[in-house]
Amino acid sequence: MKLNIWDILMSLKTSPHIAYIYAIFNSFLQVFFPPYPGDTIIALLGYLSYLKILNGGIIFSLVIISTFLSSCLLLYISYNFSNLVKNSFYFQRFFDLKQLENFEKWYKKIGPFFLVISKFVPGINSIVIIASGLFKIDIKSSIISIGIATIIHNSMFFLAGRIAGENINLLKLLIKEYTSYILLGVILITLLLFFVNRYINKE
């Protein structure tokens, strides 16, 4: 999905009241329609909060809460209506069924933390959330993982927007670098937890 990011920025600048509603809508699109560039929009909202056009606390809270609730809704639907989801046009249109084949293997290795990692790998977070529901993964663990991933991920992009401002090229660079560093950190923590868990089980 191609959007003119500059046009969106100008629209939100001139009509800041719309930005609060758009923040909620953006989170829904980001979760339910993965090609949608929701990360960049979050960064732009961060920039507008830096300019004092938007209330930083309110817009950031809206971004976090709406992303979390949208993710939980997707989890709930896939958990309770698994057959309907798999056979739906929506699922076959926006998600790769082949990716589901590797989910169970990875989940058995690193558990719910896989949901956290997937948030930082472009294009797979929504499929992992759906897979969590389809495979009936523990709801409580999944929700906690979604919450952790949402806070870290959205904070990162919101901060990148405050730093980059209207420099779209710098924004893209920051997003790329931040994503790489966070993903590396998450992987290292995951490996540490994995080996600690194996050591404890051996004892």
Q: Where are the domains of the chain?
A: 5-202
| Local confidence band at 171 (pLDDT 50, 70, 90 cut-offs) | low
Rg for the chain, CA atoms, rounded = 18
**Which residues make Cβ contacts (< 8 Å) with residue 140, sequence separation at least 6?**
none
Spatial separation of the C-alpha atoms in residues 74 and 49, rounded to whole Å: 29
Phi, psi of 121 (to 5 degrees): -110, 110
Cβ atoms 75, 139 nearer than 8 A: yes
Quote the tokens at residue 66.
């709406």
Question: What is this structure's pTM?
Answer: 0.76
Please compute the mean of the pLDDT values over residues 13-31 and round it to a whole number.
89
Please compute the mean of the pLDDT values over residues 191-195 and round it to a whole number.
67
Q: If you ran DSSP here, which 8-state letter would residue 165 be given?
A: T
Tokens 């589901």 locate to 100
Pseudo-torsion of CA 16, 43, 163, 54, nearest 10°?
Answer: 20
| Local confidence band at 1 (pLDDT 50, 70, 90 cut-offs) | very low
**Percentage of the residues of the chain whose pLDDT score is greater than 70:** 68
Phi, psi of 111 (to 5 degrees): 70, -155
Quote the tokens at residue 69.
């609730």
